[in-house]
Structure 1
Amino acid sequence: MKKVADSPIQPRMLMPDQKSDVHYKLVWYSQIARVMSQNVSDPDKPSTAISLKPPVIEQVSRAPPKIWMFKLMDAPENSAEGMGQVLDSIAKQAGLPPKVFFSKLLLMDGDLTTCRNFNSLRSLRTPSNYVKHSLQNIEFQLGASHTLWNVAHCIYKTHLGDPRKSSGTGAWRVLHALGVPHEKAMPKKDYLLMVKHIEQVHEATILAGLKVVMKTKYCTGDARAKAYEDATSDPPIASPRLSNLLLRLQDFSTVVEANQAMKAGNVGRMLNMWKMWSVMSQGLKGLNSYSSYLPRSVLLLTELLPESFAKLFRHSLLFSPSGRDDHYLSKDGYLEIQNYWLKHVYNSSGQGTQIN
């Protein structure tokens, strides 16, 4: 881990290679085939048809892990002081003396704020000759669910559009056609519903494209003739709609693929999307911190760490609580579920139990 800080970083480490390009093309094939199978028709020969799932890159074991939950900790949120109190409480609950606890490698997941607070605390304590004080044995990595939710929120907000403009062609118009009012197009604090909206818009757009290719969108000869005249006129009628549509398809496809890869427990497919997001985050507004932390996580998991060490980190991101296929969760996502049960089922009153 000490050698990582001095490792050279090249732009090619974050750029897609030939294998990832080929796999992303198969991702697109599977998304189109799935929409066609659900809404148009089934293939005559399923055995030779395009697969509805992309090829597996790196699969996490489905064996259910042994999970022990710590007791609740009373510590300030979003501060380096609170992070230090949490680490001390974990050491006490683990039953290990500080010298032993802080001499073992500890791998932890957290959201972006947690990672930033921990790095701030460690930088304040560096340099130090004391193991407990330096915190060099602890490594935080971005949780898969929080990364998906925050990047998806930024992408969704970018393409949502302004409902106040009747001529706008943002994603809100597609959702409105699907029965989702524009007032509810951007859910508050419901990231799962937001990802579902992205999937609905993406699949509806693919279906519209399939109908254009299959000549089923234009029901009359006059409509088809008008569309042909607009496309073949000299000069052709220019419009930014097609360009915006293609950008939205590209961005939404990464969110859909990352979500499905996490459910399937395929950490290799998920990391391919993280690589793409590492580049996209440099230009998307609202991802200032992710533009530095996400590439750092990707490089640690794919390039800088030894292979056995990196595999340990990668396979700790996802797990299957029930031991079934396609029922994987991230550790931070699983913790959010337990937190919900604690606040709404077991303890519905008191400080810290109210959720807006």
Structure 2
Amino acid sequence: MVLTISMMIFTRNSTTNLFPLILGLFMEIGGTSSRVINTLSNAGVSVSVSTIERLKKILSDDAKRHAVALLNSNRRFFSLLDNINIFLRKSEQRLFNKNTMINATNIVIVSLPNAVEEAVNLEEKLASRGKRASAVGADILPTREDNEKMWGSFEGLVVQFIATYCPGSESWDERKEMMGYAESLMAKDRPLEPRKTDTRPFGVFDVNEGSKMGMIKVLKALQEASGLTEEEWSGKTRIIAGDWLTSSNFRSARRDRSSDINAMERLEYGEELSQLFHFALNATHMLMRLHFGNAILDPGSLAKHKGLLNRTWDAAKPNYADGKALIRHSLIARILYSIMWKPTLDELKELATTLVDNYADPMSARDAKSHNDDVAAHSIYFIRDALIFCEFEHAVSHADAGRVLRVLKFWAFSFRGAGLHNYARECLEILLRWEYELTPPLQAALEQSWFVNRWGLPGRWIASDLYLEQLNFWVKVSDYKLRKV
């Protein structure tokens, strides 16, 4: 009825186009062809393609104005950037050699409401550089306190999985108490208070930041688009967030320009920060390398479970969602296998402690290995690594940077063992900077830069770069026409 009325009104008066405009925008974002949209426009269902393009331009310019306003305010912020690749005319790659690749950089400016003015003090930041020279091996090793807190979180995760996924658990009398007990076991270091994050897309820059020179060009374009002079931009600490490649390119460019003419050219204002989603993505690759195994020789391997679930993706380089689903599915199945009755709260507490003590302890795996039980040993190692992965996810969803840093201590060695040396070194880079080279205000600002909460609700935080990956997805789907800034 609404659509019919809208069609009748729109065909009589084209300025009454609110519903056709919204409908046309969503159809274009969903991949509807221009020919279909124009046909629906003639019928009064949607506006034309040219009107949709004008709307996209207006929305983009309005978003950039909001971002520039934040950049020129007295509020603290960080810049989140990532490179996206759009393949044009892929079908003509061999026939006419007219294919091309657009390497663009999407940037988001995110406010840091809890950061104080001292966090962007450039002099204090520069005075702390190089203090990691006094670091020792114990700085990167998990401590006894780390192990105890991790152990408690393991028990909390086991209780949560059983109370959530056990068949019929929704009707258990003590289920609410079980979930409360599980939450009380989870370690809590310094979680952020739930607050809706102020995120402001800054548009797509026609620059490839996947190299040192590209990184320098992106930062120069960012400074020019902000309306700040070079002195104003380089006079304060600027947090530059991205993936490992972004941080690596920035550090390499800063090292090469250490003797340049001024602070802007030396890039000494930048404080690079590798974001958490890419750590989680590489953790799925790590778990696949370590525990995929052989479906015939090891019935408890991920390869066997992948076949049972009829998953067809490539295990050599898994998609994050597919890899995460298989890891959690296999972990939960192993935990639920141990419970065949409706437990009370006291029985569930005892069961969780027993499971963690016997099936998440590397010493138990060594004992099984000594008895030539390779299947049990591999299963114990997997359960431990999968619980660490779930602890990382739980820490991100509650914006607890202390727990994230604890997981990175364990992952530094796991990444190294799996051959993911870049992220192993990045774990050490973060741990040593936090220990020696960050002032407390800057450390708090960097920790806040890891998380985004789009709804302002507790337990609904996500990694900042995951938010940017979602923006990149819509850029690709809408076939955004790049404009030079």
Instruction: Report the 3-state secondary structure (helix = DSSP H, G, I; strand = E; otherwise coil) of the residue aligned with 1:156.
Output: helix
The match for 1:58 is 190
Alpha-carbon distance change, 167 to 325 in structure 1, aligned in 2, over 3 angstroms: closer
Q: Distance in 1 between matches of 2:280 and 2:187?
A: 21
- Which residue matches 1:171? 302
Q: Distance in 1 between matches of 2:158 and 2:198?
A: 38
Q: Find out whether 1:20 has 2:146 as its counterpart.
A: yes
Q: Secondary structure at the match of 2:204?
A: coil
Say whether the 8 Å CA contact 1:258–1:269 is kept in structure 2. yes
Code of the aligned partner of 2:131? D
State the Cα deviation string for residues 259-303 of structure 1 (Å, max 9, x = none).
122122222222211121123223222x11122121111222355
C-alpha change, 1:24 and 1:167, in structure 2 (3 Å) is closer
Q: Deviations over 1:4-26 (max 9, x none)?
A: 31331122222222332221111
In structure 2, the CA distance between the partners of 1:244 and 1:303, relative to structure 1 (3 Å rule), is farther
Residue of structure 1 equivalent to 2:294:
162
| Structure 2, unaligned runs of 5 or more | 1-124, 344-369
SS in 1 for 2:273: strand
Q: Is 1:319 equivalent to 2:452 in the alignment?
A: yes
The match for 1:190 among 310, 319, 325 is 319
Contact 1:175–1:197 (CA under 8 A) maintained in structure 2: yes
In structure 2, what is the equivalent of residue 98 of structure 1?
A: 230
Secondary structure of the 1:265 match is coil
Asked whether the equivalents of residues 131 and 436 of structure 2 are also in contact (C-alpha less than 8 Å), the reply is no
CA contact (8 A) 1:108 1:141 kept: yes
Q: 2:245 aligns with which of 107, 113, 119?
A: 113
2:130 alignment partner in structure 1? 5
CA contact (8 A) 2:210 2:245 kept: yes
Partner SS, residue 253 of structure 2: helix
Structure 2 distance, partners of 1:61, 1:127, is: 42
Amino acid in the other structure paired with 1:326: G
Q: How does 1:116-135 map to 2 (within 5 A)?
A: 116-135=248-267
The 1:185/1:246 distance shift into structure 2, 3 A limit, reads farther
Distance 1:70 1:49 in 2: 41
Q: Structure 1: any 5+ residue segments left out of the alignment? A: 215-235, 352-356
Question: 2:157 aligned to 17, 31, 35, which one?
Answer: 31
Counterpart of 2:400?
266
Partners of 2:371 and 2:396 in 1: CA distance = 42
Q: Which residue of 1 aligns with 2:350?
A: none
The one of 276, 280, 294 equivalent to 2:410 is: 276
Identity of aligned residues (%): 17
Structure 1 counterpart of 2:375, which letter? R
Question: Larger Rg: 1 or 2?
Answer: 2
Task: Calculate the TM-score normalised by the size of structure 2.
Answer: 0.62
Give the number of aligned pairs: 324
Residues 137-161 of structure 1, C-alpha deviation per residue, up to 9 Å, x if partnerless? 1011111111111122222232112
Distance 1:325 1:46 in 2: 18
CA deviations 1:59-100 (Å, max 9, x no partner) are 113222322221211113421111111001100111101121
314-323 or 60-69: bigger deviation = 60-69
Q: Give TM-score scaled by structure 1 length.
A: 0.82
- Of the three residues 238, 247, 253, the one matched with 2:372 is 238
- CA 1:334–1:311 in structure 2 vs 1: closer, same or farther (change >3 Å)? same
How far apart are residue 168 of structure 1 and its match?
Answer: 5.5
Look up the match of 2:464.
331
Residue type of the alignment partner of 1:127:
S
Whether the 8 Å contact between 1:142 and 1:294 is mirrored in structure 2 is no
